[in-house]
Amino acid sequence: MKGDNRIGEIEMHSECRILIIDDEEPVCTTLEDMVSSLGHKAESVMQVPAAIDRIRNGCHDVILLDVFLREGRSLDLIPEINQNTDALVIVMSGYADKETAIEALRSGAFDFLEKPFDIGFLSHTINRALQALEASRKIKQLISDLEQKKASLMTGQEHLESLNNNLFQCNTALTVLAQNIERERDEMEKRVALRLKSLVVPVITKLRNDLSLHKYEFELDMLIKQIEDLTTDFSPEAKLAAALSQAELRIASLIKNGLTTEEISEHLHVSPSTVRTHRKNIRRKLKISNSQYSLRTFLALRHNVSDS
């Protein structure tokens, strides 16, 4: 092999590990010296089984592979190398031809060197291989980092989705709880209102019908009205109370109890025309447009609903 007096001009790369596979011991020794002079670690093997063992168990960056070995064609080792390591293969041959070089590159070799070659050319080829290997490893590392970040993002997304689902369930539960509390409060208010009316109003009504207390009729009526006003907001008849005036509520109550216009007129000491006017206003406010529909029936149904 040719020497080179330009070793000082050779571009030096960071130290790497180079495996030499050649069945000629002098060639292995020469190549080891050249590689070591370039600042790299070198080891050599001359037999295929030993080469396979080094490939599977070693950690090499570049492999210098002679194309013809006594045990067979070394190109068959390239798939084994590519399967077990990311080291780049530089094929060497002293009997090179175009077809062999093309076959080596197609098999997965990085480059092809024709023997004899000088140290400068070897250094240039090794440095190109190391640069390509470094770029390939960086890409693989970037891909690995991206996959890890993607996995982390997926985990974070799943965690956020789980939190969102938990929040949604909590919100649903709180909504149901609030609805239940509101329903129970309404039921409680309804029971209190009905209890108050059922206990107090009958007693006052009995007193009002007592002839000896006739002079307190107005006051007792006012007391009944006050109780009705106090319990209106807590009863299912709140909408009815909100829609009608006090006079209309009094007349609606008498209509519901079955009194006729004349009887209401006599009971309240107002004219029948006044009662009829109130009846029309009540129908209008309660949106009873069908003239054939009985006002008493409507009010009685409202009362039955509230009592149920």
Residue whose pair of structure tokens reads 């006052």 in the numeric block:
204
Query: Residue 82: what are its φ and ψ, rounded to 5°?
Result: -65, -25
**Mean pLDDT for the chain?**
81
Instruction: Report H helices in 209-271.
Output: 217-232, 238-243, 246-256, 261-268
pLDDT of residue 230: 65
Three-point CA angle 36, 40, 41, nearest 5°: 80
| Structure-token pair, residue 7 | 């070793």
Which sign does the torsion angle of CA 204, 207, 209, 215 carry? Answer: negative
Q: Specify the DSSP class assigned to residue 9.
A: G
For residue 4, pLDDT over 60 is answered with no
Q: Does domain 7-140 sit in CATH 3.40.50.2300? A: yes
- Cβ pair 27, 122 in contact under 8 A: no
CA distance 110 to 62: 10
Instruction: Write the pLDDT tens digit of every residue in 17-42.
Output: 999 999 899 999 999 999 999 999 99
Amino acid at 161: E
Instruction: Write the pLDDT tens digit of every residue in 199-245.
Output: 777 888 888 787 787 787 777 777 777 777 666 655 545 556 667 88
- Cβ pair 305, 236 in contact under 8 A: yes
CA 104, chain centre distance (Å):
51
For residue 299, pLDDT over 50 is answered with yes
Q: Comparing 292 with 10, which gets the higher pLDDT?
A: 292
Lowest mean pLDDT segment, chosen from 145-149, 189-193, 225-229, 231-235: 231-235
CA distance 253 to 245: 12
Task: Delimit the domains of the chain by residue range.
Answer: 7-140, 181-307
Complete DSSP assignment for 184-213: HHHHHHHHHHHHHHHHHHHHHHHHHT-GGG
Q: Comparing 18 with 58, which gets the higher pLDDT?
A: 18
